[in-house]
């Protein structure tokens, strides 16, 4: 079978990611250094490559770092594995909501649940507990800020689709100090367009759809500075910060060459930098959740070109977090994925395509950096799978992530910092 060819968009789209992720760290960490593992932690930076499993990391390593290179996310000195199965009566394969709930609450639940148990009872979340403990809190994502993964840390709903209710809870209940990402549509009532017009040409289905009133105005009344452009974000100084930079996700997820766009108004690394600058002024420490959503969404589309671009942007955010931790030894950095998406396999270009030409066809070929060799990526599904996901960590308590654990174990480790 023939593989899908990566045509005109391959070189210009990925060249920038290669150049950016090829930069050396300003404060490189030694591979043998566990990052002041026995020190006292005040801060947590938790980074989610949504949908990212070992195959995504290996594909990105070959493309961005080469045969003998390493991704920055894999240079963290401690590594392990996480099991992702939910407690869902209909499926052994998790979605993002159940997976993030496991992280944020320490309890398994059903798919679609945002920090409620299998009986729909709300659960305490680490984001809210950290806030109650006097720490600053924040979330950064290229998805809607009210999407499942960030929502689980700061809200409780029976259904992940209640994104306007999640936004309301952010402003009125959990009150994270920094909220940066996409999803303006859920903060405004239908017919009330904001900074991003309803029905844009790239996706006419996008439009304001909230049912909780004008939550941007309510956020301002609650003391948040609201920004919607890169310039406004750069100029924002101190205090609580709400930034919404798109109608929905900060990209357009489509198959390759069919209207797929990854060109966020503000990069994930820029948002992460601003969040750290803002949160680090709290003397009691902070919790920051960082997410690259494009890995998952483009894997759903079996779009390896954009998936690799998203991995490159995640890498740049990892550099920001690692540089911060290198000079703030009381900071734990954890990088993982909530689940696998796409059932991805890295293959030789000479391998015949067992999956066919439609969904789950091969993608490529892709060049291996610094080599004349190439590789293909073979998708086996457009959905999630149940394979384990890698976790890497640096800083105090990082050594606790060695071995293989249920994803609820994340909560157990982070709680030692955020609830005490």
Range of the domain at 62: 10-26+35-346+392-418
**First and final C-alpha spacing in the chain:** 57
pLDDT at 210: 96
pLDDT at 37: 47
Residue 367 included in any domain: no
Residue 1 included in any domain: no
Residue 207 included in any domain: yes
Quote the CA–CA distance of 194 and 214 in Å, as a whole number. 10
Residue 384 included in any domain: no
Smallest CA-to-CA distance from 410 within 323, 294, 329, 332 is with 332
Number of domains in the chain: 1
Task: Please report how the helices 409-418 and 96-105 are oriented relative to each other, as an axis angle in degrees rounded to 10.
Answer: 40
Name residues of the chain where pLDDT drops below 70.
1-39, 351-358
Smallest CA-to-CA distance from 329 within 23, 25, 29 is with 29
* 3-class DSSP assignment, residue 48: strand
Strand partners, 384: 341
Quote the CA–CA distance of 15 and 298 in Å, as a whole number. 18
Both structure tokens of 347 = 């293959």
The pTM assigned to this predicted structure is 0.92
CB 140 within 8 A of CB 181: yes
Q: CA–CA distance from 106 to each of 153, 174, 250 (Å)?
A: 11, 18, 29
Strand partners, 287: 44, 137
Quote the CA–CA distance of 404 and 105 in Å, as a whole number. 19
CB 214 within 8 A of CB 173: no
Residue 356 included in any domain: no
Residue 381 included in any domain: no
CB 262 within 8 A of CB 251: yes
CATH number of the domain at 255, please. Answer: 3.40.720.10
Quote the CA–CA distance of 56 and 71 in Å, as a whole number. 11
Quote the CA–CA distance of 60 and 396 in Å, as a whole number. 27
CB 287 within 8 A of CB 126: yes
CB 150 within 8 A of CB 181: yes
Residue 378 included in any domain: no
Residue 214 included in any domain: yes
Both structure tokens of 108 = 């398994």
Smallest CA-to-CA distance from 360 within 348, 347, 342 is with 342
Provide the residue count of the chain.
420
């Amino acid at each position: 079978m023939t593989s899908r060819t990566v045509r005109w968009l391959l070189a210009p789209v990925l060249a920038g990611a290669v150049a950016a992720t090829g930069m050396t760290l300003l404060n490189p960490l030694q591979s043998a250094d566990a990052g002041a593992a026995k020190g006292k932690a005040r801060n947590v930076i938790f980074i989610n490559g949504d949908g990212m499993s070992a195959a995504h990391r290996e594909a990105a390593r070959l493309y961005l770092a080469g045969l003998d290179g390493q991704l920055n996310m894999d240079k963290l000195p401690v590594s392990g594995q996480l099991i992702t199965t939910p407690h869902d009566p209909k499926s052994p394969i998790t979605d993002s909501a159940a997976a993030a709930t496991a992280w944020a609450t320490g309890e398994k639940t059903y798919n679609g649940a945002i920090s409620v148990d299998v009986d729909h009872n709300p659960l305490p979340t680490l984001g809210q507990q950290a806030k109650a403990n006097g720490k600053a809190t924040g979330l950064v994502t290229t998805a809607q800020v009210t999407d499942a993964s960030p929502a689980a840390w700061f809200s409780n709903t029976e259904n992940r689709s209640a994104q306007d209710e999640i936004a309301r809870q952010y402003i009125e209940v959990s009150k994270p100090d920094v909220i940066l990402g996409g999803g303006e549509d859920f903060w405004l009532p239908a017919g009330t367009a904001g900074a991003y017009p309803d029905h844009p040409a790239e996706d006419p289905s996008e439009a304001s759809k909230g049912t909780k009133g004008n939550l941007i105005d309510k956020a301002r009344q609650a003391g948040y500075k609201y920004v919607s452009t890169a310039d406004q974000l750069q100029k924002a100084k101190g205090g609580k910060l709400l930034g919404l930079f798109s109608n929905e996700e900060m990209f357009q997820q489509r198959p390759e060459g069919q209207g797929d766009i990854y060109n966020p108004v503000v990069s994930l690394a820029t948002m992460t930098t601003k969040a750290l600058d803002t949160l680090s002024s709290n003397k009691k420490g902070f919790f920051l959740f960082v997410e690259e959503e494009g890995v998952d969404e483009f894997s759903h589309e079996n779009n390896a070109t954009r998936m690799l671009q998203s991995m490159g942007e995640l890498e740049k955010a990892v550099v920001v977090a690692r540089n911060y931790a290198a000079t703030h030894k009381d900071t734990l950095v954890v990088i993982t994925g909530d689940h696998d998406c796409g059932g991805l396999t890295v293959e030789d270009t000479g391998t015949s395509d067992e999956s066919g030409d439609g969904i789950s066809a091969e993608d490529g070929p892709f060049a291996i950096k610094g080599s004349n060799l190439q590789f293909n990526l073979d998708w086996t599904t457009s959905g999630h799978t149940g394979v384990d996901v890698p976790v890497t960590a640096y800083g105090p308590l990082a050594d606790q992530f060695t071995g293989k654990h249920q994803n609820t174990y994340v909560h157990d480790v982070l709680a030692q910092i955020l609830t005490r």
